[in-house]
Amino acid sequence: MKNPYFTILQECQDHYRMWREDNDKRRTRKNGWNDVTDAYWGKLPKDWPYLSKVVDPRIRTSLIEKNARLLNAKLRGRLVPREGGDVLKARINNAVLDFQWDNANDSGSMLSKWAAMDMDTRLYMSKFALVTWKHEEEKDGEILFDGNEFYPKDIRDCGIDPTASHIRNAKWFQLRSWAKIEDLENVNDTPNGKKYPGLSKLKAYIEDNGYINISRRDSAYGDRLKQNKGLSDRTGEDKSFPVVELVTEYRKDRWVTFCPSYHIILRDIDNPYEHGQIPVVQLRYYPLGDDPLGESEVEPVIPMWKAICATLCGYLDNMNIHMRPPLKIISGAVQIETIVFGPEAQWMMDRPDAVTEMQSNGEAMRYFQTTYSALISAFNTAMGDTSQGVSGVDTFNPKKTATEIKHSERQQNVRDQSNQMYLGESIADMMMMWLSNNKQFLFMDPSKQEYVLRIVGTDLFNYFKRAGLDGMEVKPEAMQMIGDIINLQGGNMSDEDVNQLYESAKTPIYPVFKNPNEKNPAKLQYKAKMSVNDMGDGAEINVIPEDLEGLYDYIPDVASMQSGSGEMLQEAQQQALATLTTNPSVLQLLASQGVEPQIKDLLISVFNNAGLQDAEKYFIVKQPQGPTLGSNGLNNPLPQQGVPTAPPSPPGAGLPPNMAGPQQVQNAGGIPTGVQPSVQQGAGGPSVNPLPGITG
């Protein structure tokens, strides 16, 4: 019977051998990863046949401009509820994801990480990133970070199941790292705190045999970027802190971390994530046949780029020949050392025709402009950039026809929209893993009852305000108790006393319990789900485990990340504002449906997006002067206002001690069951008519 330890080790070693061989070929073959890197950095081949070595940095410029067009602003996306989810919970979960996007800044911001994903995908076919839950705390237990993270990885250290078409249907994925022995003791890359049980075996082997296999990264692959800069890869060179090569194989059901040089498994654990997926996101723009990595955007245009550089260098060589042409010298008729190009130079010769310049026809220089223009047009067309070969306009003339400009913009938009589709799919994969991790780990600590989330942005703040997350209400049973108390006092209570009773009877529409484990309902303490600051322009939401329930789909608005998305949003808002303020038919149709446009909120959004900070301060709400209570608290009946429906709260919660339960007023009489006092918010606070139609 085979030993399970050696069986899984052999499987992982075989997988490691397969993807390492494939990556070596991808890296070193003609127009492979090394050549792509050289072309991006403008390094010409060693056997360049021209004296001039001038490079057109067109590849680098094209990729940087595409990267800037697609990833230039923060992502805006939304969760769409499915079975068991509702719109309000979707907004709350979306706010949590939005906060985590801003907070996941280990090794850079999320925007910079996805920019690196985009750039490397265009260069090296695909880019992989590890999606993890990161928990970090001080020695005293203070939590430094507890949330989702995202780590793009070097393609040279990534190996995917070669029989898969994408990471979604891969059976396994291996990620290589180079780690110091001391660091492995502190590594905690799983939410459950599981480290490396096999580390002691590795350390014992090293102590007995020494570092017989000291790992150097340059022995696995040469760092082309450092080589182009004349630098050496020092990873693994420091003998004081030697490193070991570690490989983790991620499967849907288990993770296996092993050291291929020492044939030791450091860890073999079940997949700690409940989403049951390989926690890796793949970005790929151009699928290609059976290759799971797809196609590089740069590789197909490398020959065209070399042709452009050859045309430039050939033209410069030809120009230099015309400026300093070769000389035809009759042997023995001139002293060669006297032939110097310069003012008042004196050439010593026996006959006037001893030295003559070589004359060329100049055909190559005459056709340079046409050749260069054709190559640039072909290159730009291949890259999906602006093509200068659309009209008969001179390439070196800055003026362009309207047809050419329109075609160029359409060509860019089509390619960018195609890239945005694949970019959105990858971001959605990451967000769905983040959402699952939130459900699993956000309240993993049993003592953690709530997650305080700061609300950023007026749109989200206004939505939660309209939803009533900070709202307070007086329930019908509490209203009846207030009426009973007033009757017990003979109706001789001042407005201040009635208002105080009313305020003390208020309970949150969406309560969050401070002590949810309390068994006695009378001792339950609670607060509103959203607390607004003193200025009224910011808030914090108390997220509870129930808010994370339900199923959702994430819809990334990747168009919001592209350059110019802010201007497009401003134009849309301006158009909406003009429609609402200048078209009476629209207002009449809205009024017929009982809809009133929120012009103030629209104006605030317009001003904020235009760069006017804190636009709320330009709008002052005048408080209406409402009617007040009579001297006995029972006169001047007010228009009745409905009380919104809310989740049930414990009896007597939030009431004064003398209103702790209905048993104290059940025989008071005076108010029939189901009669609800009317309420109106006036300038001096809420006014109450506890007994409409009854005089005492």
Predicted pLDDT of residue 362 = 65
* pLDDT top residue among 198 and 657: 198
Is residue 188 predicted with pLDDT exceeding 90?
A: no
Q: Which three-class secondary structure state does DSSP give residue 175?
A: strand
Is residue 186 predicted with pLDDT exceeding 90?
A: no
Same domain, 234 and 331: no
Contact assessment for residue 135 and residue 191, using Cβ atoms and an 8 Å cutoff: yes
Same domain, 185 and 283: yes
The residue with tokens 């070196």 is: 396
Choose the most confident range, by mean pLDDT, from 28-32, 340-344, 603-607: 28-32
Query: What's the distance, CA 559 to chain centroid?
Result: 13
| Tokens encoding 41 | 């950095």
> How far, CA to CA in Å, does 218 sit from each of 31, 137, 173, 245?
21, 34, 22, 12
The residue with tokens 């509490």 is: 478
Half-sphere exposure at residue 368, Cβ-oriented, CA atoms within 13 angstroms: 16
In a domain, 444, yes or no: no
Q: Answer with the one of 283, 300, 317 that is the final residue of a domain.
A: 300
In a domain, 174, yes or no: yes
DSSP state of 44: P
Q: Answer with the one of 262, 279, 300 that is the final residue of a domain.
A: 300
pTM score of the predicted model: 0.78
> How far, CA to CA in Å, does 215 sit from each of 18, 187, 246, 336?
20, 19, 10, 60
In a domain, 392, yes or no: no
Predicted pLDDT of residue 117 = 97
Same domain, 477 and 609: yes
Could you read off the pLDDT of 656-688 as tens digits, one per residue? Answer: 444 444 333 333 333 333 333 433 433 344 444
Predicted pLDDT of residue 375 = 93
Query: What's the distance, CA 685 to chain centroid?
Result: 44
| Tokens encoding 202 | 């590795």
- Number of structural domains found in the chain: 3
- The mean per-residue pLDDT over the stretch 364-377 comes to 85
Q: Answer with the one of 385, 407, 423 that is the final residue of a domain.
A: 385
Q: Which three-class secondary structure state does DSSP give residue 243?
A: strand
Poorest-confidence range of 317-321, 348-352, 356-360, 418-422? 356-360
| Nearest-angstrom CA–CA distance, 428 and 421 | 11
Same domain, 263 and 365: no
Domain boundaries, position 606: 452-526+597-689
Same domain, 142 and 122: yes
Is residue 691 predicted with pLDDT exceeding 70?
A: no
Same domain, 272 and 313: no
The residue with tokens 């001080």 is: 138
Q: At what angle do helices 33-41 and 302-323 cross, to 10 degrees?
A: 40
Same domain, 98 and 237: yes
Contact assessment for residue 314 and residue 54, using Cβ atoms and an 8 Å cutoff: no
Could you read off the pLDDT of 122-146 as tens digits, one per residue? Answer: 999 999 999 999 988 777 777 888 8
| Nearest-angstrom CA–CA distance, 84 and 617 | 40
Predicted pLDDT of residue 132 = 94
| Nearest-angstrom CA–CA distance, 90 and 92 | 5
Could you read off the pLDDT of 43-91 as tens digits, one per residue? Answer: 999 899 999 999 999 999 999 999 998 998 888 899 999 876 789 999 9
Could you read off the pLDDT of 459-502 as tens digits, one per residue? Answer: 788 888 888 898 888 888 888 888 888 888 877 788 888 888 88
In a domain, 12, yes or no: yes
In a domain, 422, yes or no: no
Cβ-Cβ contacts under 8 Å for 212 (sequence gap 6 or more): none
DSSP state of 45: P
- The mean per-residue pLDDT over the stretch 102-125 comes to 94
* pLDDT top residue among 610 and 588: 588
| Nearest-angstrom CA–CA distance, 157 and 177 | 7
In a domain, 405, yes or no: no
Same domain, 291 and 319: no
Poorest-confidence range of 195-199, 513-517, 606-610? 606-610
At 498, the amino acid letter reads V
Grade residue 404 by pLDDT with cuts at 50, 70 and 90: low
| Tokens encoding 572 | 């849309």
Contact assessment for residue 576 and residue 602, using Cβ atoms and an 8 Å cutoff: yes
Same domain, 232 and 339: no
* pLDDT top residue among 239 and 70: 70
| Nearest-angstrom CA–CA distance, 275 and 281 | 14
Grade residue 364 by pLDDT with cuts at 50, 70 and 90: low
In a domain, 622, yes or no: yes
Could you read off the pLDDT of 426-470 as tens digits, one per residue? Answer: 999 999 999 999 999 999 888 888 889 988 777 788 888 888 898
| Nearest-angstrom CA–CA distance, 273 and 166 | 20
In a domain, 66, yes or no: yes
Contact assessment for residue 188 and residue 144, using Cβ atoms and an 8 Å cutoff: no
The residue with tokens 């060589």 is: 317
| Tokens encoding 363 | 């055909």
Same domain, 289 and 347: no
- Compute the mean pLDDT over every residue in the chain, rounded to the nearest whole number: 80
Same domain, 336 and 286: no
Predicted pLDDT of residue 456 = 74
Same domain, 323 and 181: no
CA angle 586, 601, 97 (to 5 degrees): 115
- The mean per-residue pLDDT over the stretch 521-541 comes to 83
